[in-house]
Chains A and B, each alone.
Chain A
Amino acid sequence: MKQITIISGKGGTGKTTLVASFAALARNLVIADCDVDAPDLHLLLHPEIVTREEFKGLNVAAMDKAKCIECGICEEACRFKAISDTDSGYAVDPTRCEGCGVCVFVCDQDAITFAERVSGYAFISKTKYGTMAHAQLNIAEEASGKLVTVVRNNAQRVAEEEGFKLILIDGSPGIGCPVIASLTGVDLALVITEPTMSGLHDLERILDVTRHFGIASVVCINKYDINEANSSRITEFCQERGVTIVRNIPYDPVVTEAMVAAMPVVEFSDGAVSDAIREIWASIR
């Protein structure tokens, strides 16, 4: 089974636009949206949810005020500043609680409960292009990396059951927890960047991450013609690093028009952008 992750380092460079079009071109694949805290792929692929599963990430502490004697030991022990002395006594801020259980351990009054919390939902859905594994992390929750792993496990299970040989993963911006979770063990990372100084800076860092984890990577520059001097800089940088640039994509407002029409751009238009995306897909699939 082959797994390809589309990542970028910098946000908003075109990951989801590319994944939606690849899904439309490929068919016979499983699609995984691993941008679990701000997922957008469903806006283009219109999944019909088949199964919905609660995601329990980490536990959360809560204060039983009837038992609390206000000794403050828990506040002192919590390294995440999640417990504070409020007007109505000691209280846990669930948005800061990392579910470590230190407060439960140090409280000798048994005044802190430690319960599972539903931190989001994982879905398996049907789209016209194939099965899609996706998720939505609840507002202000932890453990996005764990939810990414749930989505990837769902995608792998479906691919095995349905006999598909390819999983296409839409990653999230950044280089931290959810990004690493969406990269581990994949066969190829396609990094999409843009010809801006920020794009180049963020590309360097994400390629450091893929190298750190030993993941084969190729690059494509989106909107390469908005600053051709920067595109040349990126090309030179990639050559020095021994990273292949598969094919660049020109700027065209049709990409936004396709998004407004809620369609993959390759289905919306047959212009230069769609040609470029088809060539990229042919070279990495």
Chain B
Amino acid sequence: MIISIASGKGGTGKTTVAVNLALSLPDVQLLDCDVEEPNSHIFLKPEITDVKSACTLVPVVNPNLCDYCGKCAAACEYNAIVVLPTQVMVFSELCHGCGLCSMVCPRDAISEETREIGVVRKGRSGDNIELVYGLLHIGEIMAAPLIDHVKEEIDPEKTVIIDAPPGTACPVIAAISGSDYCILVTEPTPFGLYDLKLIVEVLKVLKIPSGVVVNKAGIGDMEVYDYCKEEEIPILLEIPYDKEIAEHYSEGVPFVDAIPEWKTRFSGMVEGIRGEL
């Protein structure tokens, strides 16, 4: 079973839920797909056993074959290749690696080479968690292909938890597509609610069933609860706004390690999800 954790709004507690959930279950694999700002490893302190280079393809133009006809530039939808009278410029950071330029080139002047956009790290934390996370290189814009590389490591034998990035755009889709269930983490505030509504619409498009975890319960107002009731989205768990929990978070300590009774709540939540599916 693949469960992804998403939120729309940033900083609502996705990583908190992902990490504490992983620590509450036997034999899990946690994929941190927030490759721009991964944080799960801060809490799980894994022993890294494997680091893989994650690459995309970029065009290389052979100047001996190129006659500067400009067909490649005309075909590229991303403006990643520009043909001047005696020169071709490739803007690798704009290139999506689709390969169209090399296909359209009438003189076979374009080949492709790999370009590293980030790394995928794999390691173990304790006896029951395998952590895989991606780390996008500084200055790179394309998170989605790196997320795909992280997801290539999925072990279908395990319970897989995916920690998704914030937002509702392509990196989120890349992270959560293919999940059996999505846990939406929100906070009971107007910002939390607005962004929850956006991510709920995303899940309708992707046809992934979902439930809500209300984090920092007790702050803000009750409108998140009203919305979930109207939309018939189950509230799976409430994590109170609590000084002790906040302190553990700030220190990079998963709170189920400090307050073990929460482990049964997290594992019970997953049992409920399994029953529903």
Contacts and interface: CB of A to CB of B under 8 A. Distances in A.
A227 interface: yes
Interface stretch (A22-30, A64-72, A193-201): A193-201
Chain B interface size range:
35 or more
B181 to A, nearest CB: 18
B198 interface: yes
Nearest to B97: A79
B168 A137 contact: yes
A50 interface: no
Contacts of B59: none
Contacts of B77: 58-59, 99-101
Contacts of B153: none
A1 B235 CA distance: 48
A4 to B, nearest CB: 20
A96 B170 CA distance: 8
Contacts of A152: none
B29 interface: no
B11 A144 contact: no
Contact of B39 (A58, A80, A201, A253): A201
A175 B136 contact: yes
Interface in B233-251: 246-247, 249-251
A230 interface: yes
Nearest to A58: B77
B209 to A, nearest CB: 17
Interface residues of A, number: 62
A177 to B, nearest CB: 4
A238 interface: no
Contacts of A139: 168, 198, 201-202, 205
Interface stretch (A126-134, A154-162, A202-210): A202-210
A276 interface: no
B114 to A, nearest CB: 13
B141 A101 contact: no
A43 B202 CA distance: 21
B53 to A, nearest CB: 18
B84 interface: no
A20 to B, nearest CB: 11
Contacts, number: 186
Interface in A66-111: 77, 79-80, 95-96, 98-102, 105-106
Contact of A38 (B139, B143, B168, B246): B168
Contacts of A259: 189-191, 220
Interface string B186-210: 0101110011001001100110000
A174 B37 contact: yes
B96 interface: yes
Contacts of B99: 77, 79, 102
Interface in B1-44: 8-12, 15, 34, 36-37, 39, 42
A139 B203 CA distance: 9
A100 B96 contact: yes
Contact of A40 (B9, B202, B220): B9
Interface in A1-38: 8-13, 16, 37-38
B142 interface: yes
A234 B194 CA distance: 31
Interface string B211-225: 000000001110000
A244 interface: no
A184 B202 CA distance: 29
Interface of B: 8-12, 15, 34, 36-37, 39, 42, 57, 75, 77-78, 96-100, 103-104, 136, 138-143, 165-173, 177, 187, 189-191, 194-195, 198, 201-202, 205-206, 219-221, 246-247, 249-252
24 contacts: A10-B11, A11-B166, A12-B187, A37-B167, A38-B167, A38-B198, A40-B195, A43-B190, A77-B103, A99-B77, A100-B96, A102-B98, A102-B100, A172-B10, A172-B166, A173-B37, A174-B34, A174-B36, A176-B136, A177-B142, A196-B251, A197-B251, A201-B39, A259-B190
